[in-house]
Structure 1
């Protein structure tokens, strides 16, 4: 599995999504943070798209299983279950005001929530421990694990190419391609939409009136400004602590999570909750219009990559 930072984003904010290792992209819509808690809920998919994504993901897993077996490794094809979009988090992700307000009052943008409330159990769709392959890799020696992961990367690349036609070197490359593709589609389809541009501009004016610095009011950027603002605070704390950074993670803009005291976590979290609620009040109309379309694009791109191929 790739090393990735443990980040979580508010479902109501629609920002980069914290994912579990090995999650299929179709199951959680965005694959940015990896190996973390609280993956994004899926938007309600059309039956045909959902079926096609599931078929692609299962085909990829089947090919990976056969490939690993031929190389002498044990691997169980496994596709994580997809949760039905029925919870408040799901409604928040799709721009429902009441659900977003409830979630933001409780968790803000969910950046400092884990530091302020370390005793709270994270909400997850599934854990990497749910995969039957977690027990397999646990029993491997360091040398065996290195060989296993190297072969798994090669088998995944082959499977994704066979099913989707896309050339992917490894998991990090897959995540990067997914993110880049999503951003291009968002820019093309949403940042030029006159209605969304108008709503985003009004939201930006409102936020500036409340004292927030909002330099970019493009819809896709404004949608995540709050998450990014507080995520930048975590990154700054990580950069200035005594924990050494992983060079491989740093190449992909990731970092080792800093140690933050509960007192400091609560202080930052209080600021975050206020900002998240102000953001919602300014962007009530914007989120209602933007979030459902964002969710559809996330899922559509996931489908292009065969559900992520993990």
Structure 2
């Protein structure tokens, strides 16, 4: 399965997985450097492990740093950048359906890895053996570098996600200032006619994205396209067929909600997002993420 990583996603994956004044650049860069170091160490061990078992594997860790962009600043809570992003892409859920010809800028794709070409040349049986051994080698490397015990990539990211949730709950959901700002944002949204059931800071910042993602999932369930068993096994779903006309209709609604959300949450995002990004990086570093 091919996947691509945008800068916002890379902050979670590389510093380890979807805003206040941007935090100082130096600490953020330092965290990325440490994550990159761990990722390269893991990849080196994986390469040696695969070679020992008779498999060809090229140690490869994707690029972890990117020039500062509007998306970068938006992820970290810059109001002007967030307003620009949301006016253009909403919460980014229906944007792809409304503008199917627009390609999202990505830092890297799994196809960039030299190992993708190696795996494409294998027979089905060879590929199964290769992937089984690669999983074992990755688990061994992650344990050696980070001390974490993971079964495979899914388990690794599931553990990361669960750890992030616990840290966010512990450090941010109990922060009096964030709780106060979240309450003010929720009251503002209620005044605009929106109902937000969960006002904890760690869930409030994605309530709009989750609402529209829920619409896509509902459309997918009613789609006639057959379900991909491998995707379902990983908690994913086959993207529904949505016409450009319908995509634009949903997207128009999404942009309005996204801008209303930002208008109500300007102060909240300015206080929440940099801390959220730091926690994402910190946990990712614990798990040595950043390699593929």
CA distance in 2, matches of 1:8, 1:25: 8
CA distance in 1, matches of 2:24, 2:93: 22
Does residue 292 of the first structure (1) align with residue 274 of the second (2)? yes
Q: Indicate if the aligned counterparts of 1:238 and 1:257 stay in contact, CA closer than 8 A.
A: yes
Counterpart of 2:218?
A: 236
Which of the residues 201, 214, 229 maps onto 2:196?
A: 214
Q: Which runs of 5+ in 2 are unaligned?
A: none
Q: Which runs of 5+ in 1 are unaligned?
A: 12-16, 33-41
Superposition pairs of residues 1-310 of structure 1, within 5 angstroms: 17=9, 25-26=13-14, 31=17, 44=25, 46=27, 47-310=29-292
CA distance in 2, matches of 1:283, 1:118: 29
Q: Which has the higher contact order (CA 8 A, sep 6+)?
A: 2
Q: Indicate if the aligned counterparts of 2:4 and 2:110 stay in contact, CA closer than 8 A.
A: no
Q: Give the structure with the higher percent helix.
A: 2
* Count of residue correspondences: 287
Normalised by the size of structure 1, how large is the TM-score?
0.86
CA distance in 1, matches of 2:288, 2:202: 24
Closer, same or farther: CA 294–274 of 1 in aligned 2, 3 Å: same
Question: Deviation at 1:51?
Answer: 2.9
CA RMSD after TM alignment: 2.4
Q: Secondary structure at the match of 2:289?
A: helix
CA distance in 1, matches of 2:51, 2:170: 42
Q: Indicate if the aligned counterparts of 1:24 and 1:309 stay in contact, CA closer than 8 A.
A: no
1:163-187 CA distance string (max 9 Å, x none): 1111111111111111000010000
Q: Secondary structure at the match of 1:244?
A: coil
Q: Indicate if the aligned counterparts of 1:26 and 1:308 stay in contact, CA closer than 8 A.
A: yes
1:194-250 CA distance string (max 9 Å, x none): 000000011011111111120010000001101100000011111111122234433
Closer, same or farther: CA 45–93 of 1 in aligned 2, 3 Å: farther
